[in-house]
Each structure stands twice: as structure tokens, then as C-alpha cells.
Amino acid sequence: MNLSHADINEFRQLVLEHFAHNRRAMPWREHPEPYWVVVSEIMLQQTQVDRVRPKFAVFIARFPSFASLAAAPLSEVLGLWIGLGYNRRAKFLHGTAKEVMERYNGQLPRNLKELTTLPGIGPNTAGAIMAYAYNVPVVFIETNVRSVVLHYFFANQEKVSDELIREVVTQTLDTSNPREWYWALMDYGSYLKKQHGNNISRAASYRRQSTFKGSLRQVRGKVIALLATTPRTTHELENLVNDERLTQVLAQLSHEKLILTAQDRVQLAE
């Protein structure tokens, strides 16, 4: 898909004009240093900004750097993560901090290839980190970016591939200030969802997320929350959780090394 200069300029003007009058305040934007960017990006995976803001503040107050996070026990990190869901992300972030300290002398890598070797950081998260932390013009796709491109360039199309979306993102990217440009795209995408609803189902990559209530994710979260206060026996967890899938959940959490079990005693991994 080849866009004309006029199309690109018109699109940029629309997005940037909205941003000029409706920029959202976020702590990781006001202070976009690498550690804050990494924490925010991993927290924002599948979680809305309004839920992340208060958790981010508490997390940064307790763990202000890669060094402090790496030195902390995983159990404490998991405890602070309660309420954000997808607890594996807490383990990934903790593991990333350890690798940054051990492999990179405390300095986050400045290239995509090395970033994607860190736990929980895929190509799009790595691209976001490069843009936000280092202001490097890297092409990446996330939910709001996808939503904006679908709305503006593919209004009447279904099953739009990420390949097509990536072509548009590449051509419209402001290479002189990618950090601000992606922030503007994020905010415009958020605005579009409020005004027109979520259009993301028109993307070929769309996968419907299961309902949280009654899901395994809910049971996992309850187990983590219970263990954050004190170790428990399996019998105690059975009484407190009261869900026939508990054995399955405990097996998952143990396999992911989020919990430790020994002689019927279950606790968060250290």
C-alpha cells in the first residue's frame, strides 16, 4: 500500500492536532528513562492505563531501578503485582531486571535484537521501548496503533493483516520525533475507542479474550493473592479457593515457577 504525501500529511495533522489538545498525562511519559519505560510497557500489556497508573506509582516507589528490582525476592514483586493480572508478567519483569544487571551491567540494551532476548519482551514491546526510551524510529504495532490505522485507512475492510497495517505505520512514522508521534497515536486510538467503540475485531490478528470472571486467570489471581500474605497448605487453599480447577492452577503456577510446593506447603517463589 503506497500512500501519497498528501495522505500522510493529512493523517499526521489530524493525529497531532488531537494530541496537542488532548495529551494524556502519564508518569512514564514525563520521565521516559529506560527503566520506567520497561516497567510501564510490561504493565500495559493487556491492561488499561487507568489500572496501571496507581500500580506503577507503588511499584516505582518500592523498586526505583533495575538494581533494586533485581535484588528483591520474586514473592515481593508478585505481591505488588496483585490487581494487574497475568502474573507471569511480574516474573518476566523481575527476570529482565536480573538479566540487565548480570548481562548488561545495569544498562538496558539499545537495540531490538538484544531487547527481544529479555524475558517477556517480544518484537512489538521492544519496538515501543526503542521509541519511548531512546526516541528511535522503530516500527511496531500495538492495540491503539492498530485501531487508528484500521479506522483511518481501512474503514470498510475486514480481516486486515498486520502486514498491511505495518506498511501504513512505516510510511506515516514521524522519524524526527517517533516518541511523541507514538504517544499521539496512542491517545488518538484511545479517543476513537470512546467515540466509536472498539474496531480491533476487524484485524486479522484479532483473538477474542476470554471473560475474566470464572476463568482460570481469576483462580490464578486468587491463589497468588492468598499466598502473598502467607504460605498455605493445599488443604487451606482448597477451602479458601473452593474451585475444582485448583489442582490444575497449582500445577500451572508451579511449572511457571511462580510458586513453590514442598510437603503440602505452598508459597510464592523466592
Contact between 129 and 170 under an 8 Å Cβ cutoff? The reply is no
State the Cα–Cα distance between residues 42 and 84, nearest whole angstrom.
11
Q: Which residues of 197-221 are buried (b: 16+ CB within 10 A; e: fewer)?
A: eebbebbeeeeeeeeeeeeebebbb
**Cα–chain-centroid distance for residue 129?**
11
Contact between 109 and 115 under an 8 Å Cβ cutoff? The reply is yes
Contact between 40 and 56 under an 8 Å Cβ cutoff? The reply is yes
In the set 30, 41, 102, 238, the catalytic residue is: 41
163 has catalytic annotation: no
Q: Which residues of 30-39 are buried (b: 16+ CB within 10 A; e: fewer)?
A: eebebbbbbb
Judging by DSSP bridges, how do beta strands 259-262 and 232-233 pair with one another?
unpaired
Which among 158, 151, 262 has a CA at the least distance from the CA of 197? Answer: 151
Question: Which residues have a catalytic role annotated?
Answer: 41
